């Protein structure tokens, strides 16, 4: 990888003036990093270059690419910040500063060591505070300019790909931070492909024993399932051609870490996991999606309760597709996912795809009528965001309408602002909601209608003999899930 390789990628969408800017940023970074080496032994400049490459492949603008090339310059030498502003202007300097500040937020490795030795409540609490702080700062940075997060993702991705060059204790901390902070954030922003990649890169370093276990049990099963998959794909191809439906069909393997999490949920029993492999069918229109679903179900019987229409009802992060699980050829259970090309691009790239679609390449200001995707983000909050707020530029304050709270085990739940412990309880499990008796927030007892805040650690205490939820909970719950579950109890 050289600067010329990078320029070849950006050439496709940048004008000559922007190409010059990128080149200038590169030579500036190269000069400053001269003589520095990465843990892997490579010249340091390879790291900013690879960071910029990922962004260029996602067609981010010249300012972002230039800031990515300069992203580690300030960290190594704070006086460079003013220099960057002088040479490259305030736009790029702000992006670089944003990335530098985010880089300073690290969960100290000492915490992980402490956590392992003393698994008592106090130590956990300490860790969570730092964790929450990282998350909060990240969201704040994001609210200023989403491109800072894109650079940070690209930076983290390359660091994960070169994690072997780092000493083991630091490796484990970075891997866990990737799983606990970066991957959930990528998922929240709809960047499914990046989330899966980050988790799979981190998995062997974060949980080596678990990784070996999953690899060992899943390996042979993937092979066996793969054969059935090929057969089913051939049949679908023929059938769709008969019906004159243009489609691309491919198989997809479940990401290893995502399989691990699912296995934990299903008693570590691999035979309970139906989507180890899946067939993905990509078509041109929504209409074609439903047509394909009809064709599939006319050939193979679907499993009860496994048909999911995420087109009519998208997931909270905007994900759309039709999912069904069928008894395929030879009665083998098989998951099939059907989507349009646009949905596919969104599922893989999420907010990056939105950003790309909405970008006006000629101007630095983004016209507000291009913010179709803001509406889509708004939809998962249940409300439309005031569009005027967005005319200022790339503001992303939809996070202000959501809060992030933690289970005592440290899992993150995101809920609408002013959600209560009852909303939280139902978000964890219906039974916990139904039998909720008391709630503790950050260790203190609170009322069940208490308004939760960002970063709260919520512990719901249940009454095993409870006969069910209270009707008056309906007066204060905020999520439709809690509302629905309570109502259905009284039907």
Q: Which of residues 66-95 bind Mn ion (CB under 5 A)?
A: 72
155 binds Mn ion (CB under 5 A): yes
Q: Which is nearer to Mn ion, 72 or 180 (CB)?
A: 72
Based on the shown chain and the rule CB under 5 A, indicate whether residue 177 belongs to the binding site for Mn ion. no
Choose between 107 and 132: whose C-beta lies nearer to Mn ion.
Answer: 107
Least gap, CB of 47 to Mn ion (angstroms)? 6
Which of 60-68, 152-160, 243-251, 403-411 is the region at the interface with Mn ion (rule: CB under 5 A)? 152-160
**Based on CB atoms, which residue is closest to Mn ion, 52 or 457?**
52
End-to-end CA distance of the chain: 64
Cβ distance to Mn ion smaller for residue 177 or 275: 177
Instruction: Tell me which stretch binds Mn ion (CB under 5 A): 65-73, 139-147, 212-220, 243-251.
Output: 65-73
- Measure Cα distances from 149 to 85, 413, 422 in Å: 20, 21, 32
From the list 30-38, 147-155, 293-301, 348-356, the region that binds Mn ion by CB under 5 A is 147-155
DSSP state for residue 93 in the 8-state scheme: H
Nearer Cβ to Mn ion (137/379): 137
Residue nearest to Mn ion (CB): 155
Provide the minimum distance between the beta carbon of 131 and Mn ion in the complex, in angstroms, as a whole number: 21
Angstrom distances, CA of residue 285 to CA of 38, 193, 315, 373, 377: 47, 22, 19, 19, 21
Closest separation between CB of residue 70 and Mn ion, Å? 11
* Cα–Cα dist 382/372, whole Å: 16
CA dist 226 and 222 (Å) reads 6
Contact yes or no for 60/147 (Cβ under 8 A) = yes
Q: How many residues bind Mn ion (CB under 5 A)?
A: 2
Q: Of the listed pieces 64-72, 135-143, 223-231, 391-399, which binds Mn ion according to CB under 5 A? A: 64-72
Question: In 330-479, which ranges are continuous DSSP H helix?
Answer: 341-349, 351-358, 372-379, 421-428, 430-434
CA distance 60 to 62: 7
Q: Are 302 and 206 in contact (CB under 8 A)?
A: no
Cβ closest to Mn ion, residue 97 vs residue 155:
155
Query: DSSP state, 43?
Result: B
Cβ 20 to Mn ion, closest distance in Å? 24
Query: Nearest distance from residue 481's CB to Mn ion, in Å?
Result: 39
| Closer to Mn ion by Cβ: residue 103 or 302 | 103
At 250, give phi and psi (nearest 5°).
Answer: -145, 160
Q: How far is 134 from 429, CA to CA, in rounded Å?
A: 27
- Which letter does DSSP use for residue 441 in this model? E
Q: d(Cα 411, Cα 457) in Å, to the nearest integer?
A: 10
Q: Considering the complex, state which of residue 74 and residue 295 has its C-beta at the smaller distance from Mn ion.
A: 74
Closest approach of Mn ion to the CB of residue 60, in Å: 16
Q: Output phi, psi for 385, to 5 deg.
A: -80, 145
Q: What is the 3-state secondary structure (H, E, C) of 142-210?
A: HHHCHHHHHHHHHHHHHHHHCHHHCCHHHHHHHHHHHHHHHHHHHHHCCCHHHHHHHHHHHHHHHCHHH
Binding mask 276-305 for Mn ion (x = CB under 5 A): ------------------------------
Nearer to Mn ion, 77 or 120 (CB): 77
Locate tokens 């008056």: which residue?
472
Place of tokens 């190269």: 30
Q: How far is the CB of 38 from Mn ion (least distance, A)?
A: 10
CB of 159 to Mn ion, least distance (A): 6
Least Cβ distance, residue 83 to Mn ion (angstroms): 18
Binding segment for Mn ion (CB under 5 A), chosen from 82-90, 155-163, 270-278, 304-312, is 155-163
Contacts with Mn ion by CB under 5 A lie at 72, 155
């Amino acid at each position: 990888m050289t600067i010329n390789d990078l320029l070849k990628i950006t050439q496709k969408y940048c004008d000559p003036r922007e190409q010059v800017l990128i080149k200038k940023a590169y030579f500036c970074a190269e000069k400053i990093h001269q003589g520095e080496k990465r843990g892997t032994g490579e010249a340091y400049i390879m790291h900013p270059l690879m960071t910029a490459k990922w962004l260029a492949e996602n067609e981010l603008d010249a300012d972002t690419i230039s800031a990515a090339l300069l992203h580690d310059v300030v960290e190594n030498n704070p006086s460079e910040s003013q220099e960057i502003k002088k040479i490259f202007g305030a736009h790029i300097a702000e992006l670089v500063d944003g990335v530098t500040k985010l880089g300073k937020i690290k969960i100290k490795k000492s915490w992980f060591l402490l956590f392992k030795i003393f698994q008592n409540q106090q130590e956990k609490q300490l860790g969570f505070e730092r964790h929450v702080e990282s998350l909060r700062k990240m969201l704040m940075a994001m609210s200023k300019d989403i491109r800072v997060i894109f650079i940070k993702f690209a930076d983290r991705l390359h660091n994960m790909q070169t994690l072997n060059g780092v000493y083991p204790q630091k490796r484990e901390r970075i891997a866990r931070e990737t799983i606990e902070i970066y991957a959930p954030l990528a998922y929240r922003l709809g960047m499914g492909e990046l989330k899966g990649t980050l988790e799979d890169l981190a998995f062997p370093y974060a949980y080596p024993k678990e990784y070996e276990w999953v690899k060992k049990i899943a390996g042979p099963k993937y092979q066996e399932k793969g054969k059935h998959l090929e057969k089913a794909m051939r049949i679908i191809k023929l059938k769709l051609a008969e019906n004159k439906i243009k489609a691309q069909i491919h198989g997809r393997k479940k990401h290893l870490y995502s399989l691990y999490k699912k296995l934990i949920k299903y008693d570590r029993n691999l035979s309970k996991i139906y989507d180890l492999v899946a067939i993905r069918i990509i078509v041109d229109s929504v209409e074609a999606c439903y047509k394909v679903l009809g064709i599939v179900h006319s050939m193979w019987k679907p499993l009860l309760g496994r048909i999911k229409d995420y087109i009519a009802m998208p997931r909270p992060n905007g994900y759309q597709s039709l999912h069904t699980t069928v008894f395929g050829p030879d009665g083998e259970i098989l998951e099939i996912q059907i989507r349009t090309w646009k949905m596919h691009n969104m599922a893989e790239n999420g907010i990056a795809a939105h950003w790309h679609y909405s970008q006006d390449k000629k101007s630095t200001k983004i016209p507000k009528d291009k913010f179709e995707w803001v509406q889509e983000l708004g939809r998962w909050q249940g409300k439309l965001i005031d569009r005027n707020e967005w005319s200022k530029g790339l503001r992303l304050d939809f996070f202000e309408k959501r809060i992030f709270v933690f289970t005592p085990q440290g899992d993150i739940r995101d809920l609408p602002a002013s959600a209560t412990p009852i909303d939280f309880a139902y978000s964890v499990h219906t039974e916990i909601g139904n039998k909720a008796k008391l709630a503790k927030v950050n260790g203190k007892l609170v009322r069940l209608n208490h308004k939760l805040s960002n970063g709260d650690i919520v512990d719901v205490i249940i009454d095993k003999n409870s006969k069910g939820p209270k009707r008056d909970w309906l007066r204060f719950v905020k999520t439709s899930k809690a509302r629905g579950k309570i109502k259905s109890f009284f039907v």
